[in-house]
Every structure is written in structure tokens, then in C-alpha cells.
Amino acid sequence: MTSSTLLAAVTVAADRGRPIPDAATRETVGHAPVHTVDDLERAVAAARSAQPAWAALGHDARARTLNAIADDIEENAEELAVLLSREQGKPLDGPNARFEVGAAAAWTRSAANTPLDPQVVLDDGSARSELHYVPLGTVGAIGPWNWPVMIAVWQIAPSLRMGNTVVVKPSEYTPLSVLALAEIYQRHLPQGTLTALSGGGEVGAAIAEHPGFDKIMFTGSTETGRRIVAGSAGNLARLTLELGGNDAGIVLPGTDVKSVAEQLFWGVFINTGQTCASLKRLYVHESLYEEVVATLAEAAKTTPLGPGLEPGNVLGPLQNQKQFDIVARLVEDARTRGARIAAGGGPAEELGPLFYRPTVVADISEGAPLVDEEQFGPVIPVIRYSSVADAIRRANAVEQGLGASVWSADVEEALGVAERLQAGTVWINQHGTLNPEVPFGGVKASGYGLEFGAEGLKAVAAPKVVTR
């Protein structure tokens, strides 16, 4: 293993920290500090005291700082990607660790450079009203383990740009890569402006309840999202909740399966299926059913799976045992119900304890937990339908509403279906592609609030009307 200065800066002595395993090899990557609710008190006090001066700097100065941070992320990209790959499990290659670090720089830059001017909402000759967006104060950010670095940036960068200070708490499964990201950010920021705390759910719960936060940005499961809503009732902190998904895709009759095969595969298997807005249920018209199953199965069997640091691998292990067990349970249940395993269907033990073969499950329908629950791993149930209206009804019949996709040779027809799908984003002939300028968020139990672009900046600011 190459020596890493970023890792050395964030890891603590073994007797003072918690060992963080390499997701692929299970070797210890480093030791994460164990921050407590007392550390949170100190971080909040520092953030609140730093906030007025940070806000007073103005947009241009803060944008310059964020652009310098984006440059610094790029200069340290390989080191950060190696740490992320080891801790999270995602390979360096493919749409994985290097891609995630690139996104961290891109989203930092976008938060810096997206304009957000006051809006004139009324100017009728007798009165003029303008809507301004001013800092909220201090933002608490709580993140998941699947895209830990990129999602931390989604929370931190817009908050800083809008003149807030931030306390971020990464997932206990992936603290080191986020501490390393924060270390890069902190090189450019006044003391107290950004603090990263490495703690578990108890620190997250304390953030939700803390009167020192004006806003909580949360990305994680729907269950934890509900706890945050309840926990923040006392302080009335504003919330952005990016929660779980059970995204459906609908392949319409007449789709050219070959031409969409690659997008379809990565729509499912990006980050080895551990992605909030990845395809989790695929509805395929009966006329194309066997062709789609065979196409996905072939790709699942041939796409390189293995340890993230080995060049060429583009699929990796599950990040943790709990998630591995969920995936194994859902596939086993499907098998017991008589579903057809067209590819994969079990662990890849020869690669390590958390590797699971990319799995395609056919002849399955609603009622099976693999369809009804979020699998969050490298397995896709492919469901047959005969009427498009019926497929839309079934796609909408879950509590989540993060993303959805329509696959078709006829874009007009696909747009008609998209209109009827209940989701924060509907993609046509792609799934899960994101852009820092394009707002992203969920509906129903997938949460509320938008991230990215000007809408994302507004979400971490207080609207203030000035009338004269």
C-alpha cells in the first residue's frame, strides 16, 4: 500500500480510534476518531462563532475559496480515490472512486459558480418587492456510506457558498474518506467554518435535536429520515431529506435493447448497486422480456468484479456485512419462491467475504421482498408486463418516489409515460445520471427538498423579502 498523507492526517492511534476495514480485503485501513456528543457541542459553538465573519465575506470571496478547494481536490484526487476505494469498496476504475472524486470537485465548483441573484417579484410602479437569499446560520450534515465523498460535498459546498458554517457527520462505515475531504476543505477555510465529526447514530440524533442548527441536510434511509423529522421538532430546523428509493424502469414495446443495453446495465449496477437512485425494479414488456433478461445476464456475468485497487475491475464488494446479508436474504427468498436466477445468485467467496455476484432475477413479481423492498446491492428483479398502463400503476405502487426511467425508441411516447410516473426525476433511456446544474430530490417517502443548481442554493438559504 502506498503511504498516504491524507490518511495520515485523519487516522488516529489504534488505542484511541475505531478500526475501519478495507471493504475488499478486510485489512485495517486506519483508525477513525470516536467523536462524542461533547465534541459536537464544541463543533457547534465554533461553527456559530465563525459564521458571521464567513457570511460577511460575500459571495465572490466565498466562491473564490470554493474554487480553490475544487483545485485542491483535483490535486489530491488519486490519493483520495485510493482511500475511498479501500474504505468504501468501489473500484478505482469505471463509474466508481475516481469518478466520485471528480464529481466532488465538479459539485464544489458548481456550488461556487452558480449565480443566485435577488429576484424582483413585484414592480408595479407603486411598490417593488425583491426576494433575496441570505445565510441561514449553521448547517448540520449527515451522510450515508455509498457515495460518501460526493454526497458530503452536495451538503457542504452549497451551504458554505450561501454563507453558512457546517458540521458534517459521515456514516460510521465510511468516516475516513469524508474526514480526508474535510481536511482538504479546511486548508482553505477559517477555523470553525467546517468541522467533521466521526461518530455513529447517537451523534446524528444529537445533531437533529441540537438548537444550534438552523438546517439539517440528511441523506440516508427513510427510517432514519423519519427519526430526524421527529428529533428536529423542537428546534424547527429546516430539513432536506434525500432518502431511500425503489426506482422502477419501464421498457416499452419496440425498444432497441442492444442500443440501450449499456445504460440499462449501469442504471442497475453503478456502485455495485449501492446507489439511492439506481434501477431497483425493471418492468419489461412481454415482447422483449427474454431479450432483456439475456442481455442483462450476459453483462452481469462478464463485467469485471474484484478488489477495487486492481486495475480493470468495475464492480466491487458490498460495503458492509449488514448490506451483504440484506442482498443474500432477498435473493434466497426469490429463489425459494421459484424465481429464475438468470445470472449470479450467490456470493463470490473466492474474492473475499463481502463479494456477491451481480445477479439478474427473472420470473418474479410484486409480493416478493426483492421487488417490494430496496435491495441496495448488485441484484435486479426483472418483471414481465403486458399493458403499459398496468406497468405504470405497478411502478407507482411503492411508498418511495426517488427516480424512475422509461426506455423506448419513441421519445414522445416515453415522455407521455414519464408524466404519469411518481418520482423526483424521470430519465429517458438512462437512469441515475446526475449533473450539478440539474436539481435532484425525491417525492413520497424518498424525502423532500432539492439539491444542486440554484434550487439547491436556495435550500440552504433563508428567503428574505425586501419591499420598498
What residues make contact with ligand NAD under the rule CB under 6 A?
142-146, 151, 169, 171-172, 200-201, 204-205, 208, 219-221, 224, 227-228, 242-245, 276, 374, 376, 402, 442
Q: Which is nearer to ligand NAD, 89 or 306 (CB)?
A: 89
Q: Which is nearer to ligand NAD, 316 or 442 (CB)?
A: 442
> Using the 8-state DSSP alphabet, how is residue 16 labeled?
G
Nearest distance in Å: CB 376, ligand NAD: 5
> Rounded to an integer, what distance in angstroms lies between the CA atom of residue 273 and that of residue 376?
6
Nearest distance in Å: CB 336, ligand NAD: 24
Pick from 9, 7, 153, 188: nearest CA to 80 = 7
Q: Which is nearer to ligand NAD, 152 or 252 (CB)?
A: 152
Q: Which is nearer to ligand NAD, 165 or 174 (CB)?
A: 174
Place of cell 439539517: 216
SS (H, E, C) 138-189: EEEEECCCCCHHHHHHHHHHHHHHCCCEEEEECCCCCHHHHHHHHHHHHCCC
- Residue 327's CB is within 10 A of a number of other CB atoms, namely 23
> Rounded to an integer, what distance in angstroms lies between the CA atom of residue 200 and that of residue 216?
16
The backbone region for 419, taken as left when phi is positive above 0, alpha when psi lies in -120 to 50, beta otherwise, is: alpha
User: 220 near 141, Cβ under 8 Å?
Assistant: no
Q: Is 242 a catalytic residue?
A: yes
> Using the 8-state DSSP alphabet, how is residue 118 labeled?
P
DSSP-assigned states of every residue in 251-278:
E-TT--HHHHHHHHHHHHHGGGG--TTS
Nearest distance in Å: CB 260, ligand NAD: 24
User: 193 near 168, Cβ under 8 Å?
Assistant: no
Nearest distance in Å: CB 225, ligand NAD: 7
Q: Which is nearer to ligand NAD, 93 or 172 (CB)?
A: 172
> Rounded to an integer, what distance in angstroms lies between the CA atom of residue 344 and that of residue 341?
7
Nearest distance in Å: CB 116, ligand NAD: 22
Nearest distance in Å: CB 245, ligand NAD: 5
Catalytic residue among 87, 242, 374, 451: 242
- The CA distances from residue 369 to 160, 336, 365, in Å, are 41, 12, 9
Q: Which is nearer to ligand NAD, 172 or 183 (CB)?
A: 172
User: 358 near 344, Cβ under 8 Å?
Assistant: yes
End-to-end CA distance of the chain: 64
Phi then psi for residue 228, to 5 deg, are -70, -40
Nearest distance in Å: CB 373, ligand NAD: 10
Q: Which is nearer to ligand NAD, 295 or 405 (CB)?
A: 405
> Using the 8-state DSSP alphabet, how is residue 24 labeled?
T
Nearest distance in Å: CB 193, ligand NAD: 21
Task: Write out the three cell numbers for 347.
Answer: 456470493
3-class SS of residue 84: helix
Q: Which is nearer to ligand NAD, 245 or 267 (CB)?
A: 245
Catalytic residues: 242
